[in-house]
């Protein structure tokens, strides 16, 4: 497997075309513009271009939209000691740091016109001059840019230089949306979960059932892979150590409604509160506690609720009893299993499942 395939996951037709384009373009030193919607993974494409090219220098990334305009020139070209207040030493800019490597300019459409002129000069003669400096520095840097904006439209609005666009647009690469590669979702999910598995506590790893993956593939994904990452983070919080199916995906992960979620939590709390009234026979005159409810007592939950989520209820009861059994047996799973009338291996699986 090439290095490229370790970053760009998927075997769909759209993903395969993208990988082929990268393989063709990577060996060249010409500029590249990577275009695509927000969240499609344009920086991963840029990293793949660099790694497949086998350029000896570093991959250096700059977000043109994140750095204040008055600092951008110094950030890119570096500065000499004393060039301005606070310039206490000569500092190499991103261009010099990327010598013999790749400089990735993300959100190039947000670069101001003055800086665009200086970038054009670098592309024409491969020289940079530090802020406050007088010496040209010869460099070997490949420029890769990315944008979700229509640069041709910006040119017509006089917000982007047409000559710079011609210089940059040698190899345009269009990154497909996640909607165009829905068949890759199971592989992408597996890849993203494996990347975070070391940071998860034992037993808290999540897994998607086939129905859950099918639900993910039915989504429109306006936020692309970035949205998918957010969904997985949400899943790790809401369903630790669980197998996630269709209902969890559609009702909680994709259509997350904070008000509905907490209403659901309050509904569960109401059910547990109602359970305090189940049972009823006193153990003795000196005891305030009631006997546990019998199976038939649970039918009375409908007296206080129109519906009962039986799976959640049974799961919560199971968790409470397992926690109590472990507590009274000092976390000895063998003894706790005896108290619960379970095989030890079965109890261990449940502990992992619930992340206890």
pLDDT digits (tens, 9 = 90+) for 16-30: 999 999 999 999 999
Q: Please state, in angstroms and rounded to a whole number, the distance separating the CA atoms of residues 314 and 221.
A: 33
User: What pLDDT is stored for residue 273 in this prediction?
Assistant: 57
User: What pLDDT is stored for residue 70 in this prediction?
Assistant: 82
Alpha helix stretches (DSSP H) within the chain: 3-7, 13-25, 42-53, 69-77, 94-97, 113-125, 151-156, 162-168, 185-196, 210-217, 224-238, 246-247, 258-275, 310-328, 333-340, 344-354
Report strand pairing: 127-128 vs 137-138: antiparallel
Site of tokens 């010099």: 96
pTM recorded for the entire structure? 0.70
User: What pLDDT is stored for residue 321 in this prediction?
Assistant: 87
DSSP code, position 302: G
Q: Which residues of the chain have pLDDT under 70?
A: 1-6, 197-204, 256-306, 308
Q: Please state, in angstroms and rounded to a whole number, the distance separating the CA atoms of residues 236 and 221.
A: 19
User: What pLDDT is stored for residue 302 in this prediction?
Assistant: 66
Quick check: 141 and 126 in contact, CB under 8 A?
yes
Give the domains, in start order, of the chain with CATH numbers.
3-176 (3.40.50.300), 179-256 (1.10.8.60)
């Amino acid at each position: 497997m090439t290095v490229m395939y370790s970053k760009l996951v998927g075997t769909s037709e759209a993903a395969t075309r993208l990988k082929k384009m990268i393989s063709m373009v990577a060996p060249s030193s010409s500029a590249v513009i990577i275009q695509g919607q927000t969240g499609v993974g344009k920086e991963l494409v840029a990293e793949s271009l660099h790694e497949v090219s086998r350029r000896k220098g570093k991959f250096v990334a700059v977000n043109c939209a994140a750095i204040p305009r008055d600092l951008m020139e110094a950030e890119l070209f570096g500065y000499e000691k004393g060039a301005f207040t606070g310039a206490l030493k000569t500092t190499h800019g991103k261009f010099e740091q990327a010598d013999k490597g790749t400089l990735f300019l993300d959100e190039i459409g947000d670069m101001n016109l003055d800086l665009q002129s200086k970038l054009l000069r670098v592309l024409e003669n491969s020289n940079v001059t530090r802020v406050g400096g007088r010496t040209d520095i010869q460099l070997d840097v490949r420029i890769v840019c990315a944008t979700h904006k229509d640069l041709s439209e910006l040119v017509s609005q006089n917000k982007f230089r047409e000559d710079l666009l011609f210089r940059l647009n040698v190899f345009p690469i269009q990154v497909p949306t996640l909607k165009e590669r829905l068949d890759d979702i199971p592989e992408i999910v597996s890849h993203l979960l494996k990347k975070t598995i070391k940071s998860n506590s034992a037993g808290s790893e999540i897994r998607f059932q086939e129905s859950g993956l099918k639900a993910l593939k039915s989504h429109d994904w306006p936020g692309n892979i970035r949205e998918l990452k957010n969904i997985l983070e949400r899943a790790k919080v809401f369903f630790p150590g669980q197998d996630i199916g269709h209902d969890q995906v559609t009702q909680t992960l994709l259509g997350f409604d904070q008000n509905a979620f907490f209403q659901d939590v309050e509904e569960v709390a109401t059910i547990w509160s109602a359970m305090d009234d189940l049972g009823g026979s006193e153990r003795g005159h000196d005891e305030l506690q009631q006997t546990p409810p019998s199976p038939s007592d649970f039918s009375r939950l409908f007296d206080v609720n129109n519906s009962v989520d039986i799976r959640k209820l049974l799961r919560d009861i199971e968790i409470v009893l397992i926690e109590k059994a472990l507590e009274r047996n000092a976390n000895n799973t063998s003894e706790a299993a005896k108290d619960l009338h379970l095989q030890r291996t079965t109890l261990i699986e449940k502990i992992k499942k619930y992340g206890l």
